Structure 1
Amino acid sequence: MPALVVSELRAPAAGPAEGVLGDVLRRAVGRGPTDLLLSSPGTGETWTAAELLADAEAVAAGLLARHDPGARIATCLGNGPAPVLVQLGVALAGMTLVPVNPRSRPAEVEHALRLSGAVLAIAAEEVAGNPVADLCAAVDGVEVLRVGTDWRAALPWAAPGGLPVVEPQSLAQVQFTSGTTGRAKGVRITHAGMVATGAAFAERLGPTAGRVWCNPMPLFHTAGNVLGVVGALSAGAEHVVLPFAPEPVLQALEQRRVSMLSAAPTLLDLLAAAGPPPLPDLRVLFTGGMTVTPAFVDRVEQVFGARLSITFGMTETCGAVLQTSPEDPDPVRRETVGAPLAGTDVRIAGPDGDVVPPGTPGELWVRGARITRGYLDDPVATAEAIDPDGWLHTGDLAEMSPAGACRVVGRLKDMIKTGGENVSPVEVEEVLVEHPDVARAAVVGVPDPRWGELVVAFVVPAGERDPSPAELTAHCRDRLSPFKVPRSWRVVDELPMTASAKVQRAELRRIAAAT
């Protein structure tokens, strides 16, 4: 394509609707009813395409025996086959899924169930010591199905019968934001958005990704239940689901001969530290959720011997809107989050909303089928996020190359203003992780009466040796303007993260201000 003169890409006119989640499953059955589509290393169970459809229809029938189409059904489950079967069953029943983080605290569970209007919660007895079924049962008006060791016994099975017609624009899920900017909002996601995103994600990965996808990403989040569940169905791949822990994941990679692994950057770091065995079948690693640096890409690809695909997305975009391909040139794969997925308009806008030239930072705006229809019962927040022309204002700062690849350079609200100068945390973090003693870094600003804000860096050591503040300061001074160099240093074991693997900068600002 010719070089861009402005930082905007428009998707081709939308074709016919790609259907609903049930259609994706039925198409997979049509391609190969005996193809393996789901496996659970934790329980030893597997499903062919025909078996997965039969079980999903039986769950749908069981749900319809209890509630009418349109009902809101919550899940509070750890990774495994149960959340996948419930997700598919809810979709076939014409109901709306409300996935809730099973590590949520009582107030968070109550907020999610009440805001969504859930009538039924399918909840684990406990996850990581959290008695999540009891937390759901404490919310008046919500029926609870408790899932213990025998997960099959807890699900609502019934003989399949007639299923309702589901429209592509109907509500498929109410997903909750990570809550980094206040109380979690309920994001309305349609069947059309999920189907379009899963298909585009699989297409961008291409045939290199192979036929066995390992997904330890949380199935209560779009990374797990859209990019994972819908993406694998779209590709006709075996979807290997399991909770994240380094040893079981490494075993699954070997035993299931996994060709594509989906994991957040922090999870990839843990796997790399565990010393992965030779994995000749592994072709593609997929990641996102936080800033990925060229040094990280090089390290991960060297350790695993596989190509890395990076995405940028948010709950409001079904988990992905920009993505690199494993076949992209090295500069694109190492330095950007790729080009827009099919069916997405992207604009880099200046403060006045006008499109900026390529290479110029501005706010990332996106529009298209995968964009949320707004926040549940929150018209004010919806109007603040989505303008009358349908553009979602992400709040992220990005720049677009003349070839159409995007690089995310920070958050508007995270920009640090010190001594009258603007500092991008991402720019400083990219410099810090180039130091051999630094595995990860996060940079925030804290109030200061003289400078407005001071630049504070939190660093996670790459080995047993703590990085020296003096060495890190010298490292930064060689590469950054003086006003960008952190004035204060904190060495920490881990960075506080959201469930979607994003750094909790608000928590870091609180810690920095308190100390």
Structure 2
Amino acid sequence: MSLARSQWQAVPPAALDEAVIGDVLRRAARLGPADVVLTTIGSGGEHSWTAARLLADAEAVAASLLRRHPVGSHIATFLSNGPHAVLLQLGVALAGMVLVPVNPKSRPPELEHALTLASAVSVQVDTGGADLVRSVVSRLPDPPEVVVLDEDPRSLLGEGEPAALPAVDPDSLAQIQFTSGTSGPAKGVRIHHRGMVDTAHAFARRIGLPPGGVWLNPMPLFHTAGNVLGVLGALWQRAEHVVLPFEPGAVLRVLRERAVTLLSAAPTLLHLLMAQPGFPAGRFGSLRVVFTGGSTLTPRMVDTIESGFGARLSVTFGMTETCGCALQTAPLTDSDEVRRNTVGLPIEGTDVRVAGPDGTVLATGQRGELLVRGSRITRGYYGDPEATARAIDAEGWLHTGDLAEMDIHGRLRIVGRLKDMIKTGGENVSPEEVEDVLAGHPDVERAAVVGTPDERWGELVVAFVVPSGAAPQPDIEALDVYCRQRLAPFKVPRRWHVVTELPMTASAKVRRAELRERAARPHP
């Protein structure tokens, strides 16, 4: 396909009999009841489920919930990766209720905001987070029940007669997930069953592995990467989904000891794994695919990850508002050039266009805002019609706020964020362009660039640099010269900060608002 305009008409999604989350689980149990489809590893030990047992346990969780709450109730979770998170995700869906997964690292004001906004009637929490949850709930005018779970997964199943499970509408609300909150209060994204099912199916197809295998997933299950692409994607694949909290040593042990075929991890987590002493570069015999997303990758980073893990990389672009995936490279069939330089084609059922400020579709190769539309797009933000209207236009296009370029084949490059554009001396500077240059220097592991107010220039370009192992303290003058050889003078950072790490959100995005605050402090 060759394009003259930056617009991609969706390939229709595959016809699916499975329209709701419960159907995907039932399909796995029907096609391979004895297949192991879930293994959890954590402080409570290791637990595994066949597809038949996982369906039975999820139905028991649903029945237990229905004995206490009506269909449509909002059930919050405050849980790390483990069996409770998966069983509640599936059980809440089977019960026709709405899951509200909250980051277990949230501070009290963030948790209070989530519970209040989402009108949760129950909070399911493990013993480690119980005191914090009780403290927050005690301050709420209409407090939800607090259910403290012990380490035994069967504590969720309850006792009593099986309940008749409701018929669930594919277009009904399945989850309220909270945005990463890089600036301002987190918004509650409304995610429906059809969007989650379609996205997980399209994602698994684009990965291209045969049915079965072992998917290792340390990504957080309160986020779409973990519970849509991970939980539901693995069920579509009928793969053994190995879930554990991210801890480098534990993840590497699983990679060494099990026949893992797919590893899911954000770029930051992949770098932490490769930095471990004794990392067996390129020696994971069964590993075929590493899946990542959440931040822009340079060609050098793609090469480093692929050589380090000895596997092909699948890069996604997605948001909570797109169920975690809208664009994706095909790891087994895309060329090296495509995997190194793009985020691939839109997945099935996704319309895409690159538009100018007035909404006009731009010519191929021009830079503009990425707009997406289709079955996986959120219906809006819970309790916030104004924010919904700002994000989704009358034609159903979600305005992502990301700057992108489309090539003649429909593949896209993400080149920045509209709101992050730096305006200095009347010129626009894309932070990502400067970051890409810095990432090419051997003394730089990662870099983030922001603007800070300046009376004369409007804004100054400020760089935060994480040194590579080769240079614990980079030579700033050398970096300045390196940038001036590759960038126009107005794009070269005027101030430099050497840091040990960059502040990240749970979905592995740089907290630029925090860096802007640091950049605005008096400079020595």
Please state which band the TM-score falls in when normalised by the shorter chain: over 0.9
Whether contact under 8 Å (2:63, 2:95) holds in the other structure is yes
Question: Which of 401, 405, 415 matches 1:409?
Answer: 415
- Cα distance, 1:152 vs. partner? 3.2
Question: Which of 272, 285, 292 matches 1:270?
Answer: 272
Match of 1:436 in 2: 442
Cα distance in 1, alignment partners of residues 212 and 313 from structure 2: 14
Whether contact under 8 Å (1:310, 1:323) holds in the other structure is yes
Q: Which runs of 5+ in 2 are unaligned?
A: none
User: Which letter does structure 2 place at the counterpart of 1:469?
Assistant: I
Whether contact under 8 Å (1:125, 1:132) holds in the other structure is no
Runs (4+) off by over 3 Å: 12-18, 129-140, 148-152, 154-159
Deviation digits for residues 195-252 of structure 1, max 9, x if unmatched? 0110011011011696110010000011111111111111111110000010000111
Cα distance in 2, alignment partners of residues 398 and 130 from structure 1: 44
Whether contact under 8 Å (1:58, 1:158) holds in the other structure is no
* SS of residue matched to 1:231: helix
Cα distance in 1, alignment partners of residues 126 and 452 from structure 2: 40
- Cα distance, 1:81 vs. partner? 1.0
* SS of residue matched to 1:480: coil
Match of 1:390 in 2: 396
Cα distance in 1, alignment partners of residues 302 and 326 from structure 2: 20
Whether contact under 8 Å (2:211, 2:238) holds in the other structure is no
Within a 5 Å distance, the mapping from 1:441-456 to structure 2 comes to 441-456=447-462
* SS of residue matched to 2:229: coil
Q: Does 1:461 align with 2:464?
A: no
- Cα distance, 1:16 vs. partner? 5.6
Cα distance in 2, alignment partners of residues 130 and 297 from structure 1: 42
- Cα distance, 1:159 vs. partner? 4.1
Cα distance in 1, alignment partners of residues 413 and 200 from structure 2: 22
Deviation digits for residues 329-360 of structure 1, max 9, x if unmatched? 11110011111010000000011101101111
C-alpha RMSD of matched pairs (Å)? 1.6
Match of 1:11 in 2: 10
Cα distance in 1, alignment partners of residues 210 and 56 from structure 2: 30
Match of 2:172 in 1: 170
* SS of residue matched to 2:117: helix
* SS of residue matched to 1:510: helix
* SS of residue matched to 1:286: strand
Going from structure 1 to structure 2, the CA distance change for 1:175 and 1:455 (only over 3 Å counts) comes to same
Q: Does 1:34 align with 2:34?
A: yes
* SS of residue matched to 2:109: helix
User: Which letter does structure 2 place at the counterpart of 1:345?
Assistant: D
Within a 5 Å distance, the mapping from 1:43-442 to structure 2 comes to 43-126=45-128, 131-132=132-133, 134-136=135-137, 138-139=139-140, 140-153=142-155, 156=158, 158-207=160-209, 211-274=213-276, 275-277=278-280, 278-326=283-331, 327-442=333-448
* SS of residue matched to 2:275: helix
Cα distance in 1, alignment partners of residues 395 and 267 from structure 2: 34
Whether contact under 8 Å (1:263, 1:285) holds in the other structure is yes
Whether contact under 8 Å (1:109, 1:136) holds in the other structure is no
Q: Which moved more, 1:141-150 or 1:406-415?
A: 141-150
Deviation digits for residues 274-328 of structure 1, max 9, x if unmatched? 1433210111101111111101000111111011110011111111101111021
Cα distance in 2, alignment partners of residues 68 and 305 from structure 1: 49
Whether contact under 8 Å (2:402, 2:416) holds in the other structure is yes
Count of residue pairs brought into register by the alignment: 513
- Cα distance, 1:255 vs. partner? 2.3
User: Which letter does structure 2 place at the counterpart of 1:313?
Assistant: G
Cα distance in 2, alignment partners of residues 459 and 155 from structure 1: 49
Deviation digits for residues 392-427 of structure 1, max 9, x if unmatched? 000000010111110000000101111111111111
User: Which letter does structure 1 place at the counterpart of 2:334?
Assistant: D
Cα distance in 1, alignment partners of residues 258 and 385 from structure 2: 46
Of all paired residues, the percent bearing the same amino acid is 63
Deviation digits for residues 173-214 of structure 1, max 9, x if unmatched? 000111123111111000000001100110110116961100
Deviation digits for residues 349-390 of structure 1, max 9, x if unmatched? 011101101111000000000000001111110000000100
Cα distance in 1, alignment partners of residues 438 and 131 from structure 2: 36
- Cα distance, 1:462 vs. partner? 1.0
Cα distance in 1, alignment partners of residues 135 and 180 from structure 2: 22
Going from structure 1 to structure 2, the CA distance change for 1:136 and 1:234 (only over 3 Å counts) comes to farther
- Cα distance, 1:57 vs. partner? 0.5
* SS of residue matched to 2:30: helix
Whether contact under 8 Å (1:215, 1:239) holds in the other structure is yes
Within a 5 Å distance, the mapping from 1:469-484 to structure 2 comes to 469-484=476-491
Whether contact under 8 Å (1:210, 1:259) holds in the other structure is no
Q: Which moved more, 1:360-369 or 1:133-142?
A: 133-142
Cα distance in 1, alignment partners of residues 402 and 131 from structure 2: 34
- Cα distance, 1:437 vs. partner? 1.1
Going from structure 1 to structure 2, the CA distance change for 1:20 and 1:137 (only over 3 Å counts) comes to farther
* SS of residue matched to 2:395: coil
Q: Which moved more, 1:451-460 or 1:270-279?
A: 270-279
Cα distance in 1, alignment partners of residues 513 and 69 from structure 2: 40
- Cα distance, 1:256 vs. partner? 2.5
* SS of residue matched to 1:41: strand
Whether contact under 8 Å (1:75, 1:99) holds in the other structure is yes
User: Which letter does structure 2 place at the counterpart of 1:4?
Assistant: L
* SS of residue matched to 1:393: strand
Whether contact under 8 Å (2:13, 2:202) holds in the other structure is no
Cα distance in 2, alignment partners of residues 267 and 302 from structure 1: 16
- Cα distance, 1:263 vs. partner? 0.4
Match of 1:25 in 2: 25
User: Which letter does structure 2 place at the counterpart of 1:233?
Assistant: L
- Cα distance, 1:137 vs. partner? 5.3
User: Which letter does structure 1 place at the counterpart of 2:353?
Assistant: R
- Cα distance, 1:138 vs. partner? 4.8
Cα distance in 1, alignment partners of residues 514 and 239 from structure 2: 39
Whether contact under 8 Å (1:58, 1:159) holds in the other structure is no
Whether contact under 8 Å (2:196, 2:376) holds in the other structure is yes
Cα distance in 2, alignment partners of residues 493 and 130 from structure 1: 32
Whether contact under 8 Å (2:14, 2:348) holds in the other structure is no
Cα distance in 1, alignment partners of residues 502 and 444 from structure 2: 13
Cα distance in 2, alignment partners of residues 381 and 74 from structure 1: 23
- Cα distance, 1:151 vs. partner? 4.4
Whether contact under 8 Å (1:33, 1:50) holds in the other structure is yes
Whether contact under 8 Å (2:450, 2:462) holds in the other structure is yes
User: Which letter does structure 2 place at the counterpart of 1:88?
Assistant: L
- Cα distance, 1:134 vs. partner? 4.4
Whether contact under 8 Å (2:13, 2:198) holds in the other structure is no
User: Which letter does structure 2 place at the counterpart of 1:257?
Assistant: A
Going from structure 1 to structure 2, the CA distance change for 1:123 and 1:379 (only over 3 Å counts) comes to same
Whether contact under 8 Å (2:211, 2:239) holds in the other structure is no
Whether contact under 8 Å (2:355, 2:371) holds in the other structure is yes
